[in-house]
Amino acid sequence: MRVFNFSAGPAVLPEDVLRIAAGEMLDWHGSGMSVMEMSHRGKEFIGIAQAAEADLRTLLAIPSNYKVLFLQGGAIGENAIVPMNLMHGREVADYVHTGEWSKKSIKEAKKYGRVNIAASSEEQGFTCVPDRASWRLTPDAAYVHICSNETIGGVEYPWTPDTGDVPLVADMSSQILSRVIDVAKYGVIYGGAQKNIGPAGLTIVIVRDDLLDRALPITPSAFHWKEQAAADSMLNTPPTYAIYIAGLVFRWLLALGGVAAIEQRNISKAKLLYDCLDASDFYSNPVRREHRSRMNVPFTLPDPALDAPFLRGAADRGMVQLKGHRAVGGMRASIYNAMPVAGVEALVAYMKDFERAQR
């Protein structure tokens, strides 16, 4: 029996995708082998990778002057790879600090150049996105970095900041493909696949052409965007199986009607859960309303002693991975694209029962 898996990542995948992958495991389309066993230079796998890229381009309407790279190292790796690829000849990079994941990005960037914290919500306990008007940007910065959805704090940008001529770089690990975005407003978008796309091991980087000439000479070839772009992300062996599964997820999304369609479903799922939190004085969520994440919903119970019984009861009903991150405590429900509405409905029903049972 499948559970409702609320893990923040690696996370739930569409059951349809898992079934297709299971059916193709031993013999992919008459090739006599599994995708895992194929050469990345063979025509079968090159076809798989090209289809995955084309479908991602369709889903996000990626303009033709952007490269799509399938790399490795995760978003934490990319936190270092970004400054390596963009800091050449530049002094400063601007960062907006909105929580745990921005903090990690800032820590890595400091190894490669000077970091200016252009804005921070630290004083608000990382419960909001700082107003754009308060940002103190550096006019000739290498780039401005944001984390568009803080997976741990549950804080999400509802808008795309305008950074003028300075390229906007976003860690979109837990937001990509959950809502319609205008790629042209970004210089670079990156994210690990294991939240909303596929298995761990694949990092997606979408980078505007004109930003490919700014790499520090120390940049390793495997992490050098221009070299990887010239080699169709196959300068080294790419994470072939993860790319294949990501491609199946892209097809699944296209069949559902694309990003605009899943965004509507995501809005209703998030509303179900936040309405439940707001209707109760038992559960709480500290995030400013307009910055609440649609993907990751942290909440607390009135007494941490209730956490363990809450989690046990949830597991008994087939709902797992609801324990909050150690940095914030309490609970966290991650409700990515592949989480069915029925999973959120089951969680809300359980939360109401649990609350009632405490009175």
Residues at the contact surface with ligand PLP, assessed by CB under 6 A = 9, 74-77, 101, 147, 151, 171, 173-174, 192, 195
> Which CB, 38 or 85, lies closer to ligand PLP?
85
Burial 186-217 (b: 16+ CB within 10 A, else e): bbbbbbbbbbbbbbebbbbbbbbeebbebbbe
Region of 321 on the Ramachandran plot (φ > 0 left; ψ -120 to 50 alpha; else beta): left
Catalytic pick among 28, 55, 103, 171: 171
For 227, the token pair is 């070299």
> Which CB, 8 or 253, lies closer to ligand PLP?
8
Burial degree of 140 (CB within 10 A; 0-12, 13-18, 19+): exposed
> Which CB, 76 or 183, lies closer to ligand PLP?
76
> Which CB, 18 or 76, lies closer to ligand PLP?
76
- Least distance (Å) from ligand PLP to the CB of residue 19? 26
- Least distance (Å) from ligand PLP to the CB of residue 147? 5
- Least distance (Å) from ligand PLP to the CB of residue 116? 20
For residues 6 and 279, give the distance between their C-alpha atoms in angstroms, rounded to a whole number. 22
Query: Which of helix, strand or coil describes residue 21?
Result: helix
Residue 195 annotated to the active site: yes
Unique residue bearing structure tokens 């008459």: 30
Q: Which residue is nearest to ligand PLP (CB)?
A: 74
Residue 323 annotated to the active site: no
What is the bridge-based pairing of β-strands 296-299 and 331-334?
Answer: antiparallel
Residue 252 annotated to the active site: no
Catalytic pick among 67, 103, 195, 269: 195
- Least distance (Å) from ligand PLP to the CB of residue 195? 6
* Angle at the Cα of 98 from the Cα atoms of 93 and 101, rounded to 5 degrees: 80
C-alpha dist (Å) from residue 170 to 78, 124, 128, 272, 354 = 11, 22, 17, 28, 38
| Contact status, residue 276 vs residue 352, Cβ threshold 8 Å | yes
> Which CB, 204 or 259, lies closer to ligand PLP?
204
> Which CB, 83 or 192, lies closer to ligand PLP?
192
- Least distance (Å) from ligand PLP to the CB of residue 280? 27
> Which CB, 101 or 157, lies closer to ligand PLP?
101
**Host H or E run for residue 191:** strand 188-192
Burial degree of 353 (CB within 10 A; 0-12, 13-18, 19+): exposed
Phi, psi values for residue 256, rounded to 5°: -75, -10
- Least distance (Å) from ligand PLP to the CB of residue 80? 10
Catalytic pick among 28, 55, 67, 101: 101
For 92, the token pair is 């400063």
- Least distance (Å) from ligand PLP to the CB of residue 96? 13
- For residue 332, give the nearest of 152, 104, 148 by alpha carbon: 152
- Enumerate the active-site residues: 101, 171, 195
